């Protein structure tokens, strides 16, 4: 049986830094980047990508739909 891990991709230019995804993540994968986008918002970023299980909780709660979650097969 193949094992999966998740990969979160955030559209950093559209993220407004509401932090809902950070709170929703059961594995504490996401955090806020110290960098800002062109609008001056700190955006969400993967801080512990090895913990991501691809549950999509972050994507479900994002009010601006700027998060895509992919499942990647571990070799």
pLDDT score recorded for residue 4: 79
pLDDT score recorded for residue 2: 56
> For every one of its 75 residues, what pLDDT tens digit does the chain have, with 9 covering 90 and above?
557 789 999 999 999 999 999 999 999 999 999 999 999 999 999 999 999 999 999 999 999 999 999 998 876
Q: Taking the model in full, what pTM does it have?
A: 0.85
Q: By the 8 A CB rule, do 21 and 30 touch? A: yes
Q: Distance between CA atoms of 72 and 8, rounded to whole angstroms?
A: 10
Q: Which CATH class is domain 4-73?
A: alpha beta
3 state SS for the chain: CCCEEEEEEECCCCCCCCCHHHHHCCCCCEEEEEEECCCCCEEEEECCHHHCCCCCHHHHHCCCCCEEEEEEECC
pLDDT score recorded for residue 11: 97
CA neighbor of 10 nearest in space, from 40, 34, 37, 44: 44
């Amino acid at each position: 049986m193949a094992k999966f891990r998740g990969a979160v991709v955030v559209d950093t230019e559209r993220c407004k830094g509401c932090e809902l995804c950070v709170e929703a993540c059961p594995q504490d994968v996401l955090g806020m980047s110290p960098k800002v986008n062109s609008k001056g918002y700190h955006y969400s970023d993967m801080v512990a990508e090895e913990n991501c299980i691809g549950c999509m909780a972050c994507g479900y709660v994002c009010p601006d739909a700027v998060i895509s979650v992919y499942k990647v097969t571990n070799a």
